[in-house]
Every structure is written in C-alpha cells, then in structure tokens.
Structure 1
Amino acid sequence: MNDITQFLFLHGYSILFAGVFLSQAGIPIPAVPLLITAGTIAGMGQMDLYVALFVAFTASTISDIFRYYLGRRLGNRVLVLLCRLSLEPDSCVRQTEDLFGRHGVKSLVYCKFVPGLDAVVASMSGIIQMRFSRFIAFNSMGTLLWVASYIGVGYIFSDALDDLLLYAGHMGKTFFWLLMAALVIYIAWKYVRRVQFIRELSISRITPEALKSKLDAGEDIAIIDLRSSLDFKADPYTIPGAIRMAPENLTRRENISLDQEVVLYCT
C-alpha cells in the first residue's frame, strides 16, 4: 500500500468532510475527485459506503444552510463575495441570477453539477427570502443526488480506479507536480482571459453623464438593458427607450441597427 492511499484510508472521513464543506463554502477546492475517491475506497472495503454518503451529505448541507442564512441577512453582498472567489467572477453573479430567474427553486436540485454555481445558489435562496422548509427540501434532494452520483461512480468502478491510485502512488512526487502544473496553467489561462476582458471594458466604457449628453444632443443610440429578471424585479426602472435583452440574444442583433452606436448596461 502506497503512502497516498494509506493516508486516504486512515483519514478518509475527515478529508471527505473538510473537502466537501470547504468546496460548498466557496473555496475553490474540487470536491468531485474526493467523492469519487471515497467511493473507490468504499468499493475496496476500506470505508463504509453509507457512512461516506452521510458524511458528504452532512458536510454539504451544513455549508449550504450557513450560506442560506448569510444570504438572508447580508443580501447581494454575500453573492458578490462568493463570486470573487471563483475563477470567473464576472459571469458568476449573472449565471446564478439567470438560473434562478428561469428555474426557481428547482435549480437547487441540479446546481451542484454546474461548476461555479454550486457554491452560490444557496446564498441566492436566502437573498430572495425563500422559506427555509422549501429550501432545505429541494437542497437536500440535490445534495443527495450529487453525493450519491459521484460516490456511486467511484464505488462501481473501484477496481479500475484502485489501479489509478496505485499508479499515482508509484509516481509519487512526479504525479503531484504534474497535477500542480496543470492546475497553475489552468488558473493562469483564466486570469489572462479576465485581464483581457477588463481591459476591453475599460477602453469602451461610457459614463452616465456622457451618455445623457449624447441623448440630450439627439444622437441615435441603441441602449440595451442586460439586467437579469431578478435584478429588474428589484428595480423595475430603465433608461427611457432602452431595450431589455438577455446577453445570449445580442448576437441576433434584434431591434439593433448596425448604423447605431450601442450602449450596454447592467447592474
């Protein structure tokens, strides 16, 4: 038995609980590999399958309840803070609001399968003042489905995954550094994309005062309101003449003339 596998055998439940809890709290820790590994170890007879399911379910639920009450108490500030921890904070808030706007409470059932959204949907439930009984019912269904799916995969394919764990153990430091290098490259790529996006925004940004001056001067400007349905319900006012449109519909150029200057705004 290699050192890595032995460490997982000895501290499996603690690692599983901590990893799932931190992941659902918004810390960028991949919980899925932990769940699959827990299922693999259970398939090898070194961990109880039902205890592993209970530990993962409990860790996720405690974290979700904590974030639900933070959302009820602090509002959008919690959502913004959690999204800052993600690799794509600019799209995180929007995706969460769109998800709730389209599917409502049902999004709690499958949001944990959507990377980047699993850690913020519980807070959104609190922000919109969803009843706790309704939240906990749908969240529990989603959590159980998420936990059982990945632990089940590890359990069913435990023989093949056991060979992978043994190979990783034999690779030792080489495997670890290869994994770290891949993670660093991925984060660096996301960071470069974010910097480029912010740079493009800073170049083409217009102030409210400048926009008002253009409108007062009679310039032909197409103003597009990109706010989500939740944001619009909270503040149902818009710039006179603005067209409400979802970001994904921009490429269709509906109601937008190519001869016009276009101004986009959101929250």
Structure 2
Amino acid sequence: MNEVIMEYFKIYNIWFLSVLLLLQCIGIPTGATLLVIASGAFAYAGEFNIFIILIEVWIFVCVGDVISYMLWKFIGHKTLNRFSKLKIYIEPKILKAHEYLEKHGKAAVFYTRFLISAMGPFINAAAGIAGYELPHFISFVVLGELLWTCMYLGLGYWFGDSWENIILIITQTSEVLVYIILLIVIVYFFIKILKKK
C-alpha cells in the first residue's frame, strides 16, 4: 500500500478517509477501500472504536453516492443541453437507461454498492442522468453501503495484524469481477450489432 496515503491516514484518520471515500463514490480511484480495511485492523488494535468508525464510514459513502447522483443529474443535463449533437446521440440511451432502472434499478443500485462496487460510480451516473427516483436510490444505497462497510471493516478487524495479506486477494477479485462484467457488456453489444446486420 502506498506509504504516503497510510501516513496521512494515521495523522488525519477519519477526515482523510472521508475525503477519499467521497472522491471514490464520484468515480475517482483513491484506494479508500484499502483504508477501510486498515481502519478495521486499527480498530482491532484498539486505535479506533469499531462501531463509531463503522457509522462514520457508512455515512460518508452514502453521502458520496448521493453527491455523485446529484452531480450527474444537474451537470449531465447542462452538458447535454450545451452540446446539441451530443444530446441527439445520447438522449435515446438515456431513455433506455431510464427504462432499465425502472425495471432493475433497485437491484442494480444495491448490488453495485458491495458485490461489484467498482460499477457503483457508473450506476450513480446513469441514475442521475436518467432521473431515477431519488428516494429509491437513497434507500438501496443505504442498505448496500451498510453491507459494504461491514464487509470491509470486518475483514480488517477479523484479520487484525495480518490485514495487509488479504489486500492482494481483494484487489485481484475486484479486478476479475470488473473484467467479467466488461466482457459481458462487450459480448452483448457485439451480438446486438450482429443481429442488426
């Protein structure tokens, strides 16, 4: 793990982590997940109260997801209105995204919080631009992020002093899941193009 990030975390702890969590929810890779695992390990060592850190991390990731949703809702539409050619191209896709989210939005929001969390910022963007209902979005963000927070803090707490050993496994598993999802999306669009021809 990056030594600089760990040093900042030791000095500024939850405030530094909260900024990284908010940026991660927007879609900027920050390594905050690894710091959440480290927080669990530090709680095991007695440096943090596990329940307080759980609530703090949970609140910050939920707030980050809502901020991401709102940014895409307002900035996405302003950008499309400014570029008319882009709007003509994107608008049908927004309608499809809206239809998809109406059918499967609850599951998409919920599972991309913890199971395939790398896709979370993309769902935030799609939900914001497509105008997915904010109360539904928030309720499934809250549930999914609670699982995510418990899972990663729990891993750090469970492994305690040897928490760094599991980071490689978690990183590789996340990468494999993202590659599988990307492959499925590419195959889907390839088949769709072939059917049109």
Secondary structure of 1:58's aligned partner: helix
Equivalent residue number for residue 147 of structure 2: 145
**What is residue 247 of structure 1 aligned with on the other side?**
189
Secondary structure at 1:64 match in 2 = helix
CA distance in 1, matches of 2:55, 2:79: 28
Asked whether the 8 Å contact 1:38–1:151 carries over to 2, the reply is: yes
Answer whether contact 2:43 2:49 (CA < 8 A) is retained.
Answer: yes
On the 8 A contact 2:112/2:123 being kept in 1, the answer is yes
C-alpha deviation, 1:36, in angstroms: 0.6
Tell me the amino acid that sits aligned with residue 129 of structure 1: G
2: CA distance, partners of 1:7 / 1:44? 18
TM-score scaled by structure 1? 0.49
Q: Which aligned pairs between 1:121-140 and structure 2 lie closer than 5 A?
A: 121-140=123-142
Determine if the alignment matches structure 1 residue 18 to structure 2 residue 19. Answer: yes
Aligned-residue identity in percent: 22
- State how far apart, in whole Å, the 2-side matches of 1:153 and 1:70 are: 32
Equivalenced residues, count: 160
Aligned counterparts of 2:125 and 2:20: Cα–Cα separation in 1: 19
Compared CA separation, residues 78 and 142, structure 1 to 2 (3 A): farther
Answer whether contact 2:25 2:68 (CA < 8 A) is retained: no
Partner of residue 181, structure 2: none
CA distance in 2, matches of 1:77, 1:50: 41
* TM-score between the two structures when normalised by the length of structure 2: 0.65
Contact 1:78 1:123 in 2 (8 A): no
- The structure with the greater share of residues assigned to strand is 1
Change (3 A) 1:43 1:132: same
Gaps of 5+ in 1: 80-92, 165-244, 257-261, 263-267
The structure that is helix-richer by fraction is 2
1:54 shift after superposition = 1.7
**Partner residue of 2:158 out of 128, 148, 156:** 156
Q: Deviations over 1:105-158 (max 9, x none)?
A: 211111134254222312322222222221111111111111111111101111
How far has the Cα of 1:101 moved from its partner? Answer: 7.8
For structure 2, the 5+ residue unaligned runs are 81-92, 166-186
Q: Which residue of 2 aligns with 1:108?
A: 109
Higher RCO by CA contacts (8 Å cutoff, separation 6 or greater): 2
SS in 1 for 2:120: coil
- In the alignment, is the contact (CA less than 8 A) between 1:9 and 1:46 conserved in 2? no
Amino acid at match of 2:160: S
Radius of gyration: which is bigger? 1
Instruction: Tell me, in whole angstroms, the C-alpha distance in 1 between the residues paired with 2:122 and 2:69.
Output: 9
Is the CA contact (8 Å cut-off) linking 1:21 and 1:59 kept in structure 2? Answer: yes
